[in-house]
Amino acid sequence: MSIRNIAIIAHVDHGKTTLVDQMLKQSGTFRENEYVEERAMDSNDIERERGITILAKNTAIHYNGYKINILDTPGHADFGGEVERIMKMVDGVLLVVDAYEGCMPQTRFVLRKALEQNLQPIVVINKIDKPFARPDEVLDEVIDLFIELGANEDQLEFPVVYASGINGTSSLEPTKQEDNMTPLLNQIIESIPEPPKNEDEPLQLQVALLDYNEYVGRIGIGRIYRGRIKVGQSVTLMKRDGSSESHRITKLYSFLGLKRYEVEEAAAGDIVAISGIEEVNVGETVCDREHPEALPVMEIDEPTLKMTFQVNNSPFAGLEGKWVTARKIQERLDVQLKTDVSLRVEPTDSPDAWIVSGRGELHLSILIENMRREGYELLVSRPEVILKEIDGVLCEPVERVQIDVPEEYTGSIMESIGERKGEMLDMSHTSTGQVRLIFLVPSRGLIGYRTEFLSMTRGYGIIHHNFDSYKPVFSGHAGERRQGALVSMERGKATQYSLVALEDRGVMFIEPGTEVYEGMIVGVNNKENDLNVNVTKAKAQTNVRSATKDNTVTMKKPKILSLEEALEFLNDDEFCEVTPESIRLRKKILDKAEREKLARKKKYERV
């Protein structure tokens, strides 16, 4: 059976996963009576809730005598490392672009990676059914982007398919749609080159993705570049450090639809999963024993952000979680390392704390969210950027930021980005009546910016950013929180009486009846300093009738923080306490007198 290997790449939410759904359904991969959920490839609960793809996933369909291996890639910048590795496994890409939004920051990132690998592109202008779709303008944007990124003449001769993933239609013309995906599937067969037929040569398979199964251990997923692989075969693993090890393939899996099924043998050009090599890592080559030749090692994105994970030592520790000890947290982080190659976990001087580094806030927050759903309790610190020394100069990560906002908000956006050490690269008016601003901003300046941005633009602004480069460290502060915190000075239940009395001081994070402890952050102060407050105070009971007894008390609605908002709020002297039931903010030092003593000491040292 002839094979085609393709990756689907796009900016976040441009419809990659929905498009894969339709290709799976219309190729006859599923039985007629088989129930298939929408966005079937997004199997993780968080992926379904947020509508984003977090992990690259592979599937395959049979169509007209061809096997098409399809790799669905993440669209968010924090998971860009997954995209880069996928490019090594395929011969062509479907570049999906929204017919209304056009080229976005991540479109540029993923296309540049595809062109660097000299892959054959097919451009899919998706969501053609949108009321304000502008396919001709978007196609011009795509051509301009190809030219800007240095595409060669062959790559510029890309075929274009117009599609509506949600409706399952496609065509080669923008004005009319055929009621199936046949034009797209035929275009894949015609345009994507067939892998070289070299199955008689010695085996070479390179691992690009990792999976983990508690029954068979670590599973390596990769493409067979040459030769054949069989169950029971003795192979040599060429490690990243240049060393080699001997292993035996215990299980071999192929893909079809949403299932992974066992096979006895696979040949060059196919994408398979193997088990039996417990310590296999991304980029390593599985070779024939007699011809141990390694393929060029894949580069893995270095982390740009780090946080401290710590055993929960709050007064409420152990009340809500199932796994609370250092040993359990260490085991969970070790399991994560088996599949997440962009993650780093380093020990600290304390046996109860680890430095966890990742590709961005979203990358780390999704790990934390998964852990709390599994029953873990932990404390996490404010995210910090990872500095790097390049040619003797200390450098920090800088991000390329694209912002689309109504014109009336441009002044406040430019001022706020300027305070975060941002540098404007471009400003233009889009055909949708908005202003598009392009900036280079230090990564540390973007920590906690999204919430401020949404408030500033009343929710009408759109912001996207992805890693650009390392640049010499900018002097001064970049975007730390200006307002102080309202900190509880007592342990007990918050009362409505106290919360109403404190409303003028700032915005509360808790409701009446919430259990609090000393040092817990219960709100944000209107002023820059931290303020210790008593939220547990009850109204004094007397036998004297009050003149205002029957007055109705109206209370402002508190701001209940999500995990991302809580992490963005943190300052250097604060922790986020994460449990399966609650997300609390607290000071690192809970005791009020101890905090004041430390503050005086720091003030004295500065003098």
* DSSP single-letter state for residue 517: -
Q: For residue 434, give both structure tokens.
A: 């908005």
8 A C-beta contact, residue 127 and residue 165: yes
* 14 annotated ligand binder: yes
pLDDT at 444: 86
pLDDT at 159: 93
Q: Is the pLDDT of residue 135 over 70?
A: yes
* 129 annotated ligand binder: yes
* 127 annotated ligand binder: yes
Name the band, by pLDDT with cuts 50, 70 and 90, for residue 543.
low
pTM equals 0.80
Quick one: how many helices (H) and strands (E) in the chain?
A: 15, 35
pLDDT at 568: 85
> What digits encode the pLDDT tens for the residues 396-424?
988 888 888 888 889 999 998 988 888 99
For a pLDDT cut of 70, what percent of the chain falls above it?
89
- Report, as an integer, the average pLDDT of 564-578: 90
- Report, as an integer, the average pLDDT of 90-116: 84
Residue 94 host element (H or E): strand 92-98
Q: Is the pLDDT of residue 505 over 50?
A: yes
Of 311-315, 528-532, 559-563, which one has max mean pLDDT? 311-315
CA angle 77, 420, 301 (to 5 degrees): 25
* 217 annotated ligand binder: no
3-state secondary structure 239-296: CCCCCEEEEECCEEEEEECCEEEECCEEECCCEEEEECCCCCCCCCEEEECCECCCCC
If 0-12 CB within 10 Å is exposed, 13-18 middle and 19+ buried, where does residue 319 land? middle
Q: Among 42-51, 356-365, 446-455, 579-588, which stretch is predicted with the lowest mean pLDDT?
A: 42-51
Name the band, by pLDDT with cuts 50, 70 and 90, for residue 432.
low
pLDDT at 542: 66
Q: Is the pLDDT of residue 338 over 60?
A: yes
For a pLDDT cut of 90, what percent of the chain falls above it?
29
What domains appear along the chain, each with residue ranges and CATH number?
A: 2-191 (3.40.50.300), 204-288 (2.40.30.10), 305-385 (3.30.70.870), 388-472 (3.30.70.240), 485-541+554-606 (2.40.50.250)
pLDDT at 371: 93
pLDDT at 229: 92
* 126 annotated ligand binder: yes
Q: For residue 70, give both structure tokens.
A: 């399809």
pLDDT at 78: 53
Q: Is the pLDDT of residue 74 over 80?
A: no
Q: How far is CA 599 from the centre of its chain?
A: 37
> What digits encode the pLDDT tens for the residues 213-263?
777 778 888 899 999 999 999 999 998 888 888 989 998 988 887 778 889
Residue 330 host element (H or E): helix 326-339
> What digits encode the pLDDT tens for the residues 173-227?
888 888 888 999 999 999 999 988 888 899 999 988 888 777 777 888 889 999 9
* 338 annotated ligand binder: no
Q: Is the pLDDT of residue 354 over 90?
A: yes
Give start and end residues of each alpha helix (H) in 403-490: 410-419, 443-446, 449-456
pLDDT at 349: 92
If 0-12 CB within 10 Å is exposed, 13-18 middle and 19+ buried, where does residue 271 land? buried
Instruction: Look over the chain and give the mean of its residue pLDDT values, rounded to a whole number.
Output: 84
Q: For residue 20, give both structure tokens.
A: 């894969």
- Report, as an integer, the average pLDDT of 352-367: 88
